[in-house]
Amino acid sequence: CEEFTLKDLSRLTNGFAEEAKIGSGSFGSVYRAKLPDGREVAIKRAERASTGARRRRRFDAERAFRSELRLLSRVNHRNLVSLLGFCEERGERILVFEFMPHGALHDHLHGEDAGSGHSPLFSSWEARLRVALDAARGVEYLHCYAVPPIIHRDIKPSNILLDDDWTAKVSDFGLSLVSGASASTSPTTTSGTAGTVGYMDPEYYRLQELTERSDVYSFGVVLLELVTGRKAIHRDQSQEGSGSPRNVIEFAVPAVEAGNIAKILDGRVPEPRGHEVEAVARVAKIGAECVRPRGRGRPVMSEVVAELEWAVTLCE
């Protein structure tokens, strides 16, 4: 991975201009640019924390940056967003990634275009389940093939990006942690928890013991979102207190356990036909298994990948 100068990156983004900005996240801002060799890139520039009271934040941020850089430079897989370069000049923390033209899965599932038919994710179960399979393979790589294994800690649809040909890739390793040993036997104890509400493993939250099974939980929420078209958490105030489910787990899991798949497919997703019916039911079931309250009861990513491979084959 290449080291860029601040001058180069500033020139490529017109001085980090608003027009070049394509998003912002917990880390800072993301800009779109084209390298002199024609490659499109996404440039992630961390917020600059300056002096005094912010010193601790700045220290944490620098540590997170180094950690992301270290992790990213070690991994290489077609379902993980590739790091192409970085810049650490004059207090700046900038990462340069391959550009993912179709953006984040979150926007295709829940954005304005979600139901408009523009996104192939809306019209085809094969495309929808392929996204799940791609992302599962990315996470499986982190757990099983990265040395040492890596726990992502923030699996969610806004961290699953889509390439030009709709290949899904997992991104955002800012919170990732190198796993201690084989996960389920010796969990890594962390100081405090990190992740996103709605996706965070309740067992990890309670015990602060992190294993690969926490990623499996988050991935299960993503699977349930893909199958139902619903958000992880409903923020609709009108539903509060009315007894209706407030998250996708409460909505989907009882129906899946009762074998009533039709109940969770209520018009936000394409209607499954032929073999798709069986495929969708299997994916809903594996999603429900991934979000079991106890980590030990959940499958491992290789099992999730095998199930999804089978489901995609059924849809072909």
By CB under 6 A, name the binding residues for ligand ADP: 22-27, 30, 42, 44, 81, 97, 99-100, 103-104, 158-159, 161, 171-172
199 or 204: whose CB is closer to ligand ADP? 199
Residue of minimal CB distance from ligand ADP? 25
Closest CA to 79 of 174, 170, 215: 170
Tell me the DSSP string of 60-104.
Answer: HHHHHHHHHHHHHHH---TTBPPEEEEE-GGG--EEEEE--TT-B
Least distance in angstroms from the C-beta of 215 to ligand ADP: 15
Cβ contacts of 114-119, under 8 Å, gap ≥ 24: 114/229, 115/268
Please, are residues 160 and 131 in contact by the beta-carbon 8 Å criterion? yes
Minimum separation from the CB atom of position 253 to ligand ADP (A): 26
Which of 12, 52, 10, 44 lies closest to 27 in space, CA to CA? Answer: 44
CB of 159 to ligand ADP, least distance (A): 5
In the bound state with ligand ADP, the residue whose beta carbon lies nearer, of 125 and 199, is 199
Query: Of 154, 172, 201, 215, which residue is the catalytic one?
Result: 154
Q: Please, which residues have CB within 8 angstroms of residue 98's CB and are 6 or more apart in sequence?
A: 39, 40, 41, 42, 81, 82, 84
Nearer Cβ to ligand ADP (72/255):
72
Nearest approach in angstroms of CB 182 to ligand ADP is 28
Active-site residue, 154 included: yes
Cβ-based nearer residue to ligand ADP, 157 or 295: 157
Residues classed as catalytic: 154
